């Protein structure tokens, strides 16, 4: 342990010293491209700065991901008590040299990602976490393969209508309670992440942020339901079948003497009025996409009025849930604030350090990822390129990048709404590939989609030893999901 701490300290110091030098050296290397000023930046940032940032500017982002992956393995006690400091460290390693070199543009980028992205992200998670914590499913739920599979089926449908985050927060506690007696249950939570937290949200724009973004850019609301249903069904049926087989095997190895539920009790829901608040959250999100009320300026960042109203609605729904739900229900639900706090701290660092990655991605063929953008030609390319980046980056801008790449490839110079209609009419498979890649492959890592890490945190708080960041990938997502995605490619996107 002592050697590990010394090694980590040395590594941190090296990176902390190296990053400012990296940005300074970038300035000398870009002889014809002096540091940007706030006035020369694009109105919403990203495009100009993305053409200048080198690929290795994402090192702090890689650092925080490696910290999330390795510290819980090699220094769990240190991580448990100091993960907010680690998150803050990597944030500062990126932010200090970034601000020193890019000055006003850097400040603009940082403010933009927190005001427009991070704060609404946390408000949505907090509201759903708070409301779902007030819904208690009582009764006898036996953690058998059939019962668990039924819960996953319900979650896979619900995710498209109340969002992957909403469905995950609503169902994770019931499935944890029903399997509390079982020794082998990690695989159940992993498949829950696969299906409820990700792939299940493919059928409507309410399911996942990238699909909602497509809806805002002219994709009809029910396009995903009619054109992704077969892709969704193919992947869901394969995964549910695999899960049932795997869970049946582990169930046969369980000590049935521990399967004591006491008296069989009918299933009933307490705190059901929180479902109204859950609908209110969905309504607030829909309102922000359908209504246009103009913009306000917050510290130089343009934020729409409808988004502020949405956030206010979400906060109100959460507060009403806290006010109207008895403490006994939350206690019986084993509700605590620790999971949302962990997500808030870690994603504050992730959002900060992800700035260069998103800026480079938004720069398209003019940025350091031009080789990837230019290599994307066929539907299968779009599926894997969008999905691979969505496994680690925010899937909403990733979706939009390849969405615009497809529009530019086929209908350059055409007005966006007309180009979208033409893409749907004549090149529909490309949009299918982009949408499926962005939603499906968020399941590849814990950070691929917002509810993944939340489900992990809630499960760990319930005493389940979840796999590490890399353990999740190498033991579950790569051997299980990648073959499924290869099949999806050959059946739908070849």
Q: What percent of the chain has pLDDT over 70?
A: 88
Across the range 194-222, mean pLDDT stands at 88
Residue 223: pLDDT over 70: yes
Q: Look up residue 322 and give its two tokens.
A: 């806290």
pLDDT at 260: 58
pLDDT at 262: 53
Q: Look up residue 486 and give its two tokens.
A: 């290869």
Across the range 212-235, mean pLDDT stands at 89
pLDDT at 264: 64
pLDDT digits (tens, 9 = 90+) for 245-299: 999 999 998 876 666 555 566 678 888 999 999 899 889 988 888 888 999 999 8
pLDDT at 230: 96
Residue 31: pLDDT over 50: no
3-state secondary structure of 138: strand
- What's the CA angle centered on 203, arms 227 and 385, to 5 degrees? 75
DSSP 8-state assignment for residue 376 = -
Residue 205: pLDDT over 80: yes
Q: Look up residue 385 and give its two tokens.
A: 């390129």
The answer to whether the beta carbons of residues 254 and 183 sit under 8 Å apart is: yes
pLDDT at 282: 87
pLDDT at 259: 61
Instruction: Quote the CA–CA distance of 153 and 220 in Å, as a whole number.
Output: 26
- Report how far apart, in Å, the C-alpha atoms of 173 and of each of 207, 280, 344, 386, 416 are: 20, 21, 20, 31, 43
Using the CB atoms, write b or e for 39-69: b if 16+ within 10 Å: eebeeebbbbbbbbbbeebbbbbebbbebbb
Residue 112: pLDDT over 70: yes
What's the whole-number average pLDDT of the chain?
A: 85
39: confidence class by pLDDT, cuts 50, 70, 90: very low
Q: Residues 6 or more apart from 22 whose CB is under 8 A from it?
A: 54, 56, 57, 59, 97
C-alpha dihedral, 483 to 486 to 490 to 494, nearest 10° = 180
The highest-confidence range among 195-204, 348-357, 391-400, by mean pLDDT, is 195-204
- Report how far apart, in Å, the C-alpha atoms of 251 and of each of 125, 245, 256 are: 33, 10, 9
- E-strand stretches of 276-347: 295-298, 301-304
pLDDT digits (tens, 9 = 90+) for 413-456: 778 788 888 999 899 999 999 999 999 999 999 988 888 988 99
2: confidence class by pLDDT, cuts 50, 70, 90: low
Q: Report the candidate in 165, 170, 157 with the shortest Cα–Cα distance to residue 451.
A: 165
The answer to whether the beta carbons of residues 13 and 87 sit under 8 Å apart is: no
Q: What are phi and psi of 375, to 5 degrees?
A: -85, -10
pLDDT digits (tens, 9 = 90+) for 75-88: 888 988 899 999 99
3-state secondary structure of 75: coil
Across the range 104-110, mean pLDDT stands at 91
Q: Residues 6 or more apart from 163 whose CB is under 8 A from it?
A: 128, 201, 206, 207, 208, 282, 285
β-pair type (295-298, 301-304): antiparallel
Q: Residues 6 or more apart from 102 whose CB is under 8 A from it?
A: 23, 35, 36, 49, 109
- The helix (H) or strand (E) run that includes residue 119 is helix 119-132
Q: Residues 6 or more apart from 134 whose CB is under 8 A from it?
A: 271, 274, 321, 322, 324, 325, 329, 330, 333, 335
- The helix (H) or strand (E) run that includes residue 269 is strand 268-270
Residue 492: pLDDT over 90: yes
Instruction: Quote the CA–CA distance of 395 and 389 in Å, as a whole number.
Output: 7
- Higher model confidence: residue 206 or residue 314? 314
Q: Report the candidate in 10, 25, 61, 14 with the shortest Cα–Cα distance to residue 356.
A: 61
22: confidence class by pLDDT, cuts 50, 70, 90: very low
Instruction: Quote the CA–CA distance of 182 and 195 in Å, as a whole number.
Output: 21
Residue 36: pLDDT over 80: no
């Amino acid at each position: 342990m002592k050697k590990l701490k010394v090694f980590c300290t040395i590594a941190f110091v090296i990176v902390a010293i190296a990053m400012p030098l990296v940005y300074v050296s970038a300035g000398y290397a870009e002889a014809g491209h002096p540091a940007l000023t706030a006035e020369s930046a694009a109105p919403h940032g990203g495009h100009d700065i993305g053409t200048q940032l080198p690929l290795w500017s994402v090192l702090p982002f890689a650092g925080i991901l490696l910290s999330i992956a390795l510290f819980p393995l090699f220094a769990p006690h240190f991580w448990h008590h100091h993960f907010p400091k680690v998150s803050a460290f990597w944030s500062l390693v990126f932010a200090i040299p970034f601000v020193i070199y890019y000055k006003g543009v850097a400040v603009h980028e940082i403010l933009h990602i927190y005001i427009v992205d991070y704060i609404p992200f946390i408000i949505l998670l907090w509201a759903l976490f708070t409301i779902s914590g007030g819904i208690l499913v009582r009764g006898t739920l036996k953690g058998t393969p059939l019962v668990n599979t039924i819960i996953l089926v319900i979650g896979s449908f619900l995710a498209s209508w109340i969002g992957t985050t909403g469905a995950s927060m609503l169902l994770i506690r019931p499935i944890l309670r029903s399997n509390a007696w079982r020794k082998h249950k990690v695989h159940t939570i992993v498949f829950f992440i696969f299906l409820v937290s990700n792939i299940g949200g493919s059928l409507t724009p309410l399911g996942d942020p990238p699909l909602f973004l497509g809806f805002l850019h002219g994709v009809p609301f029910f396009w995903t339901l009619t054109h992704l249903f077969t892709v969704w069904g193919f992947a869901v049926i394969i995964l549910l079948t695999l899960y049932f087989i795997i869970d049946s095997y582990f169930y046969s190895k369980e000590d049935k003497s521990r399967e004591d539920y006491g008296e069989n009790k009918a299933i009933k829901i307490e705190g059901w009025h929180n479902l109204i608040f859950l609908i209110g959250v969905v309504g607030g999100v829909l309102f922000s996409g359908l209504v246009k009320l103009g913009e306000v300026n917050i510290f130089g960042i343009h934020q729409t009025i409808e988004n502020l109203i949405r956030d206010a609605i979400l906060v109100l729904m959460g507060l009403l849930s806290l006010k109207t739900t008895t403490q006994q229900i939350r206690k019986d639900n084993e509700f605590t604030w620790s999971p949302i706090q962990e997500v808030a701290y870690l994603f504050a660092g992730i959002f900060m350090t992800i700035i260069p990655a998103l800026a480079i991605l938004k720069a398209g063929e003019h940025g350091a990822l031009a080789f990837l953008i230019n290599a994307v030609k066929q539907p299968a390319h779009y599926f894997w390129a969008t999905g691979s980046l969505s496994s680690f980056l925010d899937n909403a801008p990733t979706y939009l990048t390849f969405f615009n790449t497809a529009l530019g490839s086929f209908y350059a110079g055409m007005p966006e709404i007309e180009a979208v209609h033409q893409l749907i009419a004549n090149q529909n498979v490309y949009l299918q590939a982009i949408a499926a890649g962005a939603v499906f492959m968020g399941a590849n890592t814990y950070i691929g989609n917002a509810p993944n890490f939340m489900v992990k945190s809630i499960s760990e708080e319930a005493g389940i030893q979840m796999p590490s960041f890399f353990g999740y990938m190498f033991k579950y997502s790569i051997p299980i999901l990648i073959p499924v995605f290869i099949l999806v490619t050959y059946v739908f996107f070849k």
